[in-house]
Amino acid sequence: MRSAGPGQQFRRVRFGGILTAVLALLVAACSQPGGQNTQGPGPRASSGATSPACDLITPEIAAKAVAGVMPVGQNSSDRQPGSKAYTCAYSVKSMEGGITALSVALISPASAGDISTAKAASDCSPVPGIGDFACLQWTGYFRGEAGGASANVVLTAVRGDETLEMPYITSPPMNGAGVPDGDAMARALAQAAVEAGWGNGTELRVPAAPAVGAPATTNNPVCALASPEEVQQAFGAKAPPQVLPSEANCRYTFGELGTPGPDSMIFSVEVLKGAASPLGGLGAHGEPVDGIGDSASFSMTTEGAGPKSLRPAGDAPITMMSISAVRGGNIGTFTAQVLISPTGPTAGQTKEQLITLVRSIEF
């Protein structure tokens, strides 16, 4: 597998405005040969209590694609047909695998523009055997990590006047867990679509994931907002961070996540384009901060290390510092997680380091 090189553009998928998770597979369905296309049951009418997307990719189908996954949110079925409001989300979290999730976006009926947009997905590998059109994309979340993999996978499909978009994304592996298998993830998505009734009766052929590319490459413009050197210097870390791009955010991790001090840092930047209009009062929630965007606020909390935080267990609590800011129509969220050391920068000093860094970022 490879991550996408510079200039390659992947479609960004969000649900709930923040979570776009979709994940690595551990299931028997993925071990079935890719050429076996057994026609699944056809789509069912909505029960009235769930989104049509959840009626299509049911909890049972989702659990076959992603082991242990559970529903984490869905839109009600009374949303306007023909909009991308028919959504469904499933997720699971563990210390070994991090967060894994599968989301489903169904447009029914879809406009001619919706269908054209789906068919125009860039850098997309065709998937014979699903709908009138189907393709897979690999977004390469793990560029830069040991054993880096093009792990994030999105299935886009068109059938009649419906479009289906299924992102399957995983967080970085924890505690020595192996990196996800992009080929297996792709097979899981394809099999789930067929089982949901989107098979077209022909042989299902799932393309191979691309090979791993150069660790330093990224197609995520959010990562260009702050260089690794700037983040390292801002917090006084000794080691340069790994840079881990996601769909709408970029994460910088240092190598001693269980040892208090600047090198226990996880710093992340998330930018949601055009999201500020319905959330115009965002900057009022928390301590106001001057000099960042049109308005900004700072908040700080603590929590224990361990499974809840997906960090190694330890005596030092995790200090979570976050700046939320509005600039024009965009919302930027800048978060620092750090284990404060008795011999290193205090929480107050780290707060000032974070504010100084964010003031230099033009989002």
Per-residue pLDDT of the chain (363 residues; tens, 9 = 90+): 223 332 222 233 322 222 233 332 222 222 222 333 333 333 333 344 567 888 899 999 999 998 888 887 655 455 555 555 568 888 887 766 667 888 898 998 899 998 998 898 777 889 999 999 999 987 655 444 444 444 678 899 999 999 999 988 776 665 556 667 788 889 999 999 999 999 999 999 999 877 654 443 445 688 889 999 999 999 999 988 888 776 577 889 887 777 899 998 899 998 887 765 444 444 446 899 999 999 999 999 988 776 556 566 777 888 999 999 998 888 899 999 999 988 889 999 999 999 999 999 988
Its pTM stands at 0.52
pLDDT, tens digit (0-9, with 9 covering 90-100), for 102-160: 889 899 889 999 899 889 877 788 999 999 999 998 765 544 444 444 467 889 999 99
How far apart are alpha carbons 270 and 278 in whole angstroms? Answer: 17
20/14 Cα distance (integer angstroms): 5
Distance in angstroms (rounded) separating the CA atoms of residues 299 and 324: 9
Among the listed residues 90, 120, 119, the one whose alpha carbon sits nearest the alpha carbon of residue 105 = 90
Half-sphere exposure of 135 (CA within 13 A, CB side): 15
pLDDT score for 179: 66
**DSSP type of residue 185:** H
Other CB atoms within 10 A of residue 229 CB: 10
Q: Give bridge partners of residue 126 from the DSSP assignment.
A: 135
The first and second tokens of residue 357, run together, are 């860094």
DSSP character for 282?
G
Residue 209 DSSP one-character state: P
Tell me how crowded residue 78 is: count the other CB atoms within 10 A of its CB.
10
The structural domains of the chain, with segments of one domain joined by +, span 28-198, 221-359
* Cis bond before residue 109 (omega within 30° of 0): yes
- What is the assigned CATH class of domain 221-359? alpha beta
Judge whether 142 and 149 are in contact, CB under 8 Å: yes
Nearest CA to 207 among 132, 154, 160, 144?
Answer: 154
CA 356, distance to chain mean position in Å, is 27
